[in-house]
Structure 1
C-alpha cells in the first residue's frame, strides 16, 4: 500500500511539474482572451492514471501563479482544469476524443467569466467562449490526441502503481 501511494504521488508530482514547465515556456500564448495553452494537452493523462487529476490541478495552480495570474484566475482557472481532469478520468473507457471534451467545456464555461470579471476584458462573453474554446480544442484535442497516440501502447504499464 505504501508503494502504491508513493507511486501515485510521484506520478501526480511529475505531471504537475511538466504542466508548469510547459505553461511557463509557452507563457506568451498560455494566457489571455486568445490562448493556446500547450500544457492543456496533458489533460488527456487521466485516461491513463487518476494521479493526473491532482497533478493537473496543482500544475495549473502553480503555472497560473508563476505566470502572474490574478487570484480569481489562479483559483477558478485551476478549478476548470480540475473539473476537466476529473471528468476525463470518468470518460476514460470512451473513445479518446470524447475524453478530451471535459477540459474544453469546463474552460469554455469558466475562463471567459474570469477574463471579464477578473481582468476587465470587455469583449462579449460568447466571443471569449469561442476563442477560449478554439484554443482548448487545439490544446486538448489536437495536441492531447498526439500525446495519447504516443502513450497508448504503454497503457497499463507506464502509469502502473506498485
Structure 2
C-alpha cells in the first residue's frame, strides 16, 4: 500500500507540474520566466514522492518546451537536485531556496549555451523568476498545506 501511495503521489505531482508549465507556456520558458509550476517545489517538505514527481513532470514540460536534449536532460536534472535539497532543508523558510539557486545556475548556463545570452544576467533573471514562483507562490502554499499534511500526504 505504501508503494502504491508513493507512486500515485509522484504521478499526480508530475502531471500537475507538467500541465501547469505547459498551460502557462508563454511565461514558463525563455530568459525571463516564471514557471508557476515551480511553486510545487515546496512539496518535498511533505512527501519524498515529490522528488521523482517533480523530476518527471519537468522532463515532460521540457520536452514540450522545445529547447532540445540539453534542456530536457540538464534542466530536469536541476529540478531533481533542487527537489532533493528541498527535501533535506531543516527549516520551512529554506525549502524554496534550492530551486532558486540550482535552477538559477543550471538554467542560466543552459540558456547561455543555447542562445548565447549573457551568462550572469540570464542566471539573475532565472533566479528572480524562481524567487517569484518559489517564495511568492510556493511558500504560502507550503504554509497552507502544513495544516492538512497528515490527511493529504499519507505514505
Match of 1:129 in 2: 123
Within a 5 Å distance, the mapping from 1:76-91 to structure 2 comes to: 76-91=74-89
Structure 1 stretch 63-72 or stretch 34-43: which is displaced more?
Answer: 63-72
- Normalising by the residue count of structure 1, what TM-score does the alignment of the two structures yield? 0.92
Runs of 5+ unmatched residues, structure 2: none
Q: Return the match for 1:109 from 96, 105, 112.
A: 105
Runs of 5+ unmatched residues, structure 1: none
Q: Return the match for 1:70 from 68, 71, 76.
A: 68
Match of 1:56 in 2: 54
Q: Return the match for 1:22 from 20, 23, 47.
A: 20
Is structure 2 residue 154 aligned with structure 1 residue 152?
Answer: no
CA distance in 1, matches of 2:76, 2:129: 16
Shift of 1:40: 0.5
Aligned length: 155
CA distance in 2, matches of 1:63, 1:103: 16
- Normalising by the residue count of structure 2, what TM-score does the alignment of the two structures yield? 0.96
CA distance in 1, matches of 2:56, 2:144: 24
Structure holding more helix per residue: 2
